[in-house]
Amino acid sequence: MHMTGIPFGTTDWSAIQQTEHKGETGVAYWRTQNFADIRVRLVEYTPGYLADHWCSKGHILFCMEGELRTELDDGRDFVLKPGMSYQVADNAEPHRSSTSVGAKLFIVD
C-alpha cells in the first residue's frame, strides 16, 4: 500500500453515518471513510451474520470485539478474536466471513 495525498486528520467514527449491508443471514453495518484510493471502515456484524458472497478484495482487518470466522475457498477456516488481525492481498484467496456472536472490526482496503 502506498499512501500519498492524505493530510493528517482525525475521525470521530460515531459521527460517520452507518450503511446497512445484508448478508445471506444477518446484517453488517459499515461506517466508511475514503482517503484517495484507500477505504477505511468500522464494521459491525450482527450475531448470525453470514456473508452473501465470496470476496476477492484485499484487506487488513483487525477484530475489536466479538468473534469472526473467515472461510477461504480452499477450505481453510480461521477464527479471529479481539486483538487479532488478518491480511490478504487483492485476488489472492477468496474468503467470506461469518459470526455466531457478532463482531466489530476495523478494516483497511
Q: Is the pLDDT of residue 2 over 80?
A: no
For 44-61, the pLDDT digits (tens) are: 999 999 999 999 999 999
Q: Are strands 49-50 and 95-99 parallel, antiparallel or unpaired?
A: antiparallel
**Three cell numbers written together for 80:** 479471529
Q: What's the predicted TM-score (pTM) here?
A: 0.92
Q: Is the pLDDT of residue 1 over 70?
A: no
- pLDDT given at position 101: 98
Domain locations in the chain?
18-108
**CATH, domain 18-108, list 3.10.450.750, 2.60.120.10, 3.40.50.10950, 3.40.640.10:** 2.60.120.10
Q: Are strands 38-45 and 77-80 parallel, antiparallel or unpaired?
A: unpaired
Q: Is 74 left (phi over 0), alpha (psi -120 to 50) or beta?
A: alpha
For 53-98, the pLDDT digits (tens) are: 999 999 999 999 999 999 999 999 999 999 999 999 999 999 999 9
Alpha carbon 64 to its chain's center: 11
